[in-house]
C-alpha cells in the first residue's frame, strides 16, 4: 500500500478554498490524497479488521471527497471510493458471458466419500503421491461472484448464473467495502478475474432483518437469501445499506500484457504455481481472505480439518455449509482437469443435516455437580448432524414450559457441531391423545432427598449436597479433570465405582485409596492401579488457581479461579476475607466484586462456599494429605513481566503442551486469547500454524516460535 503523504489532521485542517474548486493540479493532488487515505482506512477497517482512526474522521474524509467531486465532477472516476454509495438505479441487469466457465463443485457427505475422492485423484495422477497437498477452506453460504479488474481497476462484477452467463451486478458489488475498487500494488496482470463469495455475516443479517421488521417489511429467512436479495437490487443505493462482505477464494480468466503492450492469455485460472500462493497474492491486492483457510498434507488431515470446522461452525460469525478441499498444486490441477461442470481437483464436503425428527420415549432428570436437576429427553435413536442421538437436553423447567413438551411427543432435534443435542420444537399436531404434562420431581431421583427451587430461578436442585452420590460423582469427576487437578487415568467409570463402593466420600479419600482397592475395580489391572496412585501423587503439587477451580464452587470457572488466585495471592487470605466480612457484618461480596469477572451472584456463591465449615474442613484435609502450591506475592500484579498483554497460541507445539504454555503466560500476567486481533501483543506460532499466523502477519503483530518462547521464559 502506498503511504499517504499528508496526515488526516493536515487534510482536514485545510478546507478547500473556493478558488481550488477548479480542475487544476492542486485539486487533483488533493483528490488523490483523499482517495488514497480513504482506501487505506477502508481496507484496514473492512478487510484487516484493524482500524486506526475513529469512524468520525473517516466520515469527514469521505464527506470531503464527495464535496470535492461535486464541485469537480471529472474527479469522480470509476475507482473513486465515492462509487461505493451506489449509482442511478438500473431497469434491468445486463448479461455477462464468463470468459472461463464458473464451475460448480462435486459433493462429499462423509469421510468415505472424501477418501474415495483422494483415491480417484491418485489413480489419475501420473506421479506416485503418498499425500496430496490439499488446501481447505470454509464453504461460505452466500452468492458466488466473478469480478474482473482491468489495469488494476474494477471493471465488471457478475453473478455465476448458469456457469457460462451471469448477470452484471457491477454497481452493486462496488458498494461492498471489502471489494477493492483498485488493486493495491502494481504487480497485477493486465486483466484478472477474481472469484469469491458475497455473504452477510450473522450480525449484519440480524440488523438488516430488524430494520425491515421495524419498517413493517418482509424479513429474509436466512443470511444467504438476504445476500442474494441485496445483490439483486436494481437500485445500488439500497445494496449500499446492506452490510455485505466478500471473501475471495480463487482466480478465473487472466490476461498479461507484454513489454510491447501485446496481450496474452495467461495459464488459465493460475496466478502462480499453487492455489495457496494465489490467495496470498489476492490478499496483497487488498482482498479479504477467510482466516480459517488451511494447507494440509493428505486426505486424513483434510478430514481432520472438516471435523474441526464442524465443531467450530456454531462459534463462527457467518454461515458456512461445508468445507471446500482443493488440490494446492496448479500443475496437478492442470493434470486433473474437469469433469462435466466441475473440476476434478476440488470437492465440497457438505456438513450433515443438523435437524431430524423423532419421538420422546421418556423424560429423565439428571443430577449435576451442583445438584441441579436437568431434564433430559430419552429419544427413539435418530441420526442427526452425523451421529446417532438418543438423548437431548431440555435445559430446565422454563424450557419445558416454553416448548410445552411431553413424553411420547414427536420432536425436532437439532445438533450444532459438538454442542449437546437440543429439542428445537415439538410437533404438537402429532401429539397422541391422552398424554399428560410433565410432573416436576419433588425428590432427587438419585438419593431421594427433597428438591428445592429458588423463586425466580428456572433450576430445581437436590438439597443433599455431596451426600447425594450423583452430585459426589460429578464433583470428583470435576476435581480430577484436566483443567482442575489433572489426575490422569480417573475415567468416569472408575469414579462411578469408587463412589458406589463407598471408597470415596469426598475428594480427600482419593489420596487414601489402596492398590488393592483400585485393582479390585472392574476392568482395572494391577498396573493401571499403580499408575493411578502415581498420578494422584504427582498431582499434589499444583497451582492456587487450579486448586480453587477444582473445588467446584458454583459459577467459578477456570478464569474466575485465576482471577481469585491473582487477587488474593493465597487461599488463607481469600478465606480470611470471607470470614472477616461475615464477622464484621460487612457486605460479604464487596471485596469480591472488585475482582475482574465477578458479579454479585458469583460473589455470593464464593461467599457461601468459603463460609461453609464442611468445605473449609475439606480444604484443610486436602492440604494435610500434601496438596500444595506456591502462593502468589500480592501486589506483584503491576510488576509482572507480561501484565496487560494479550498473547495467542497457534499451531502444534512440540516440547510443551498448550496448557503448560498458557499457565506460564498467565503466571507472568498475560491474558491468553483464542483469536488474533489488533489487541494481540504476541503470537506463539507452533508447527503448521495457519490462519492465525496469516492474520498476525497482516496486522504486523510480533510472532515467535516455540523455541524462542522457551528460551525467553522457561530456560
Where does this chain bind ligand 9MJ (CB under 6 A)?
Answer: 103, 105, 137, 139-140, 197, 249-250, 324, 346
Give the nearer residue to ligand 9MJ in terms of CB position, either 227 or 507: 227
Can you spell out the DSSP letters for 169-225?
A: -HHHHHT-TTS-SB-SSS---SEEEEEEEEE--HHHHHHHHHHHHHTTPPPPSSHHH
CA dihedral 620, 625, 629, 635 (to 10 degrees): 20
Give the nearer residue to ligand 9MJ in terms of CB position, either 76 or 103: 103
How many angstroms separate the CA atoms of 527 and 505, rounded?
Answer: 24
- Nearest distance in Å: CB 143, ligand 9MJ: 9
- Nearest distance in Å: CB 256, ligand 9MJ: 22
Residue 563 DSSP SS3: helix
- Nearest distance in Å: CB 324, ligand 9MJ: 4
Spatial contact of 434 and 452, defined as CB atoms under 8 Å apart: no
- Nearest distance in Å: CB 316, ligand 9MJ: 12
Give the nearer residue to ligand 9MJ in terms of CB position, either 277 or 425: 277
From residue 33, alpha-carbon distances to 3, 11, 12, 84 in Å are: 10, 8, 11, 18
- Nearest distance in Å: CB 139, ligand 9MJ: 5
Residue 654 burial (CB count, 10 A) = 11
- CA 518 distance to own-chain centroid: 41
Give the nearer residue to ligand 9MJ in terms of CB position, either 102 or 495: 102
Spatial contact of 405 and 411, defined as CB atoms under 8 Å apart: yes
How many angstroms separate the CA atoms of 155 and 194, rounded?
Answer: 11
How deeply is 68 buried, as exposed, middle or buried, from its count of CB atoms within 10 A (0-12, 13-18, 19+)? buried
How deeply is 61 buried, as exposed, middle or buried, from its count of CB atoms within 10 A (0-12, 13-18, 19+)? buried
Give the nearer residue to ligand 9MJ in terms of CB position, either 106 or 399: 106
How many angstroms separate the CA atoms of 647 and 627, rounded?
Answer: 30
- Nearest distance in Å: CB 321, ligand 9MJ: 8
Give the nearer residue to ligand 9MJ in terms of CB position, either 69 or 137: 137
How many angstroms separate the CA atoms of 246 and 286, rounded?
Answer: 11
Give the nearer residue to ligand 9MJ in terms of CB position, either 342 or 688: 342
Give the nearer residue to ligand 9MJ in terms of CB position, either 103 or 533: 103
Give the nearer residue to ligand 9MJ in terms of CB position, either 343 or 371: 343
Residues 6+ apart with CB under 8 A from 447: 462, 464, 467, 468, 469, 470
Which residues are part of the catalytic machinery? 139
CA nearest 630: which of 571, 672, 574? 571
Residues 6+ apart with CB under 8 A from 585: none
CA nearest 153: which of 181, 118, 119? 181
- Nearest distance in Å: CB 301, ligand 9MJ: 17
**Residues linked to residue 358 through DSSP beta bridges, in sequence order:** 411
- Nearest distance in Å: CB 247, ligand 9MJ: 7
Spatial contact of 384 and 413, defined as CB atoms under 8 Å apart: yes
**Buried/exposed 29-50: b ≥16 CB within 10 Å, e otherwise:** ebbebbbbbbbbbbbbbbbbeb
- Nearest distance in Å: CB 319, ligand 9MJ: 11
Amino acid at each position: 500500500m502506498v503511504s499517504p503523504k499528508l496526515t488526516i489532521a493536515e487534510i482536514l485542517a485545510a478546507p478547500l478554498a473556493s478558488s481550488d474548486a477548479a480542475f487544476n493540479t492542486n485539486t487533483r493532488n488533493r483528490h488523490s490524497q483523499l482517495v488514497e487515505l480513504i482506501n487505506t482506512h477502508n481496507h484496514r477497517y473492512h478487510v484487516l479488521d484493524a482500524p486506526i482512526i475513529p469512524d468520525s474522521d473517516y466520515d469527514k474524509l469521505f464527506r470531503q471527497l464527495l464535496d470535492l467531486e461535486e464541485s469537480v465532477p471529472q474527479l469522480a472516476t470509476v475507482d473513486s471510493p465515492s462509487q461505493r454509495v451506489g449509482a442511478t438505479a438500473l431497469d434491468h441487469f445486463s448479461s455477462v458471458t464468463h470468459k472461463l466457465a464458473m464451475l460448480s463443485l462435486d459433493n462429499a457427505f462423509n469421510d468415505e466419500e472424501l477418501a474415495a475422492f483422494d483415491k480417484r485423484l491418485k489413480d489419475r495422477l501420473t506421479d506416485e503421491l503418498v499425500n496430496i497437498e490439499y488446501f481447505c477452506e470454509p464453504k461460505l453460504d452466500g452468492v458466488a461472484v466473478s469480478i474482473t479488474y482491468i489495469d488494476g481497476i474494477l471493471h465488471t462484477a457478475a453473478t455465476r448464473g448458469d456457469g457460462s452467463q451471469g448477470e452484471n451486478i457491477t454497481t452493486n458489488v462496488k458498494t461492498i467495502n471489502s471489494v477493492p475498487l483498485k488493486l493495491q500494488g502494481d504487480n497485477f496482470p493486465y486483466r484478472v478475474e477474481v472469484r469469491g463469495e458475497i455473504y452477510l455475516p450473522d450480525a449484519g443479517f440480524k440488523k438488516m432483518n430488524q430494520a425491515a421488521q421495524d419498517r413493517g417489511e418482509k424479513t429474509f429467512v436466512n443470511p444467504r437469501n438476504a445476500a442474494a436479495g441485496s445483490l439483486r437490487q436494481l437500485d445500488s443505493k439500497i445494496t449500499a445499506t446492506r452490510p455485505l462482505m466478500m471473501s475471495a477464494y480463487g482466480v478465473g480468466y487472466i490476461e498479461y500484457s507484454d513489454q510491447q503492450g501485446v496481450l496474452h492469455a495467461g495459464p488459465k485460472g493460475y496466478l502462480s504455481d499453487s492455489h495457496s500462493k494465489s490467495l496470498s497474492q489476492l490478499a496483497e491486492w487488498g482482498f479479504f481472505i477467510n482466516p480459517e483457510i488451511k494447507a494440509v498434507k493428505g486426505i486424513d488431515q483434510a478430514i481432520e480439518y472438516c471435523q474441526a470446522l464442524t465443531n467450530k461452525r456454531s462459534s463462527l460469525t457467518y454461515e458456512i455449509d461445508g468445507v471446500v478441499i482443493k488440490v494446492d498444486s496448479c500443475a496437478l490441477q492442470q493434470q486433473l482437469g474437469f469433469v462435466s461442470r466441475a473440476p476434478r481437483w476440488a470437492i465440497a464436503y457438505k456438513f450433515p443435516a443438523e435437524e431430524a425428527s423423532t419421538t420422546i420415549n421418556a423424560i429423565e432428570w439428571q443430577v449435576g455437580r451442583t445438584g441441579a436437576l436437568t431434564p433430559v429427553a430419552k429419544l427413539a435413536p435418530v441420526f442427526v448432524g452425523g451421529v446417532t442421538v438418543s438423548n437431548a437436553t431440555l435445559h430446565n423447567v422454563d424450557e419445558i414450559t416454553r416448548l410445552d413438551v411431553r413424553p411420547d411427543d414427536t420432536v425436532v432435534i437439532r445438533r450444532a457441531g459438538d454442542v449437546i443435542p437440543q429439542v428445537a420444537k415439538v410437533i404438537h399436531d402429532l401429539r397422541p391423545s391422552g398424554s399428560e404434562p410433565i410432573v416436576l420431581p419433588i425428590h432427587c431421583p438419585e438419593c431421594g432427598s427433597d428438591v428445592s427451587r429458588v423463586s425466580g430461578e428456572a433450576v430445581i436442585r437436590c438439597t443433599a449436597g455431596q451426600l447425594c452420590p450423583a452430585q459426589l460423582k460429578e464433583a470428583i469427576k470435576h476435581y480430577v479433570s484436566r483443567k482442575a487437578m489433572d489426575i490422569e487415568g480417573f475415567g468416569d467409570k472408575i469414579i462411578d465405582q469408587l463412589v458406589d463402593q463407598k471408597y470415596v466420600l469426598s475428594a480427600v479419600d482419593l489420596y487414601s485409596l489402596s492398590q488393592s482397592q483400585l485393582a479390585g475395580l472392574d476392568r482395572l489391572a494391577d498396573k493401571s492401579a499403580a499408575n493411578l496412585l502415581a498420578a494422584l501423587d504427582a498431582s499434589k503439587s499444583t497451582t492456587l488457581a487450579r486448586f480453587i477451580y477444582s473445588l467446584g464452587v458454583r459459577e467459578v470457572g477456570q478464569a474466575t479461579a485465576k482471577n481469585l488466585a491473582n487477587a488474593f495471592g493465597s487461599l488463607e487470605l481469600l478465606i480470611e476475607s470471607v470470614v472477616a466480612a461475615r464477622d464484621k457484618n460487612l457486605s460479604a461480596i464487596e471485596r469480591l466484586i472488585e475482582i475482574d469477572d465477578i458479579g454479585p451472584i458469583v460473589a455470593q456463591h464464593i461467599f457461601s462456599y468459603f463460609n461453609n465449615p464442611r468445605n473449609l474442613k475439606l480444604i484443610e484435609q486436602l492440604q494435610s494429605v500434601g496438596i500444595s502450591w506456591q502462593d502468589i506475592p500480592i501486589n506483584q500484579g503491576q510488576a509482572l513481566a507480561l501484565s496487560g498483554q494479550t498473547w495467542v497460541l497457534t499451531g502444534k507445539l512440540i516440547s510443551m503442551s498448550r496448557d503448560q504454555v498458557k499457565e506460564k503466560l498467565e503466571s507472568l500476567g498475560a491474558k491468553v486469547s483464542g483469536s488474533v486481533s489488533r489487541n494481540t501483543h504476541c503470537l506463539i506460532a507452533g508447527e503448521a500454524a495457519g490462519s492465525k499466523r496469516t492474520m498476525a502477519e497482516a496486522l504486523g503483530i510480533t510472532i515467535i516460535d516455540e523455541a524462542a518462547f522457551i528460551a525467553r521464559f522457561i530456560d
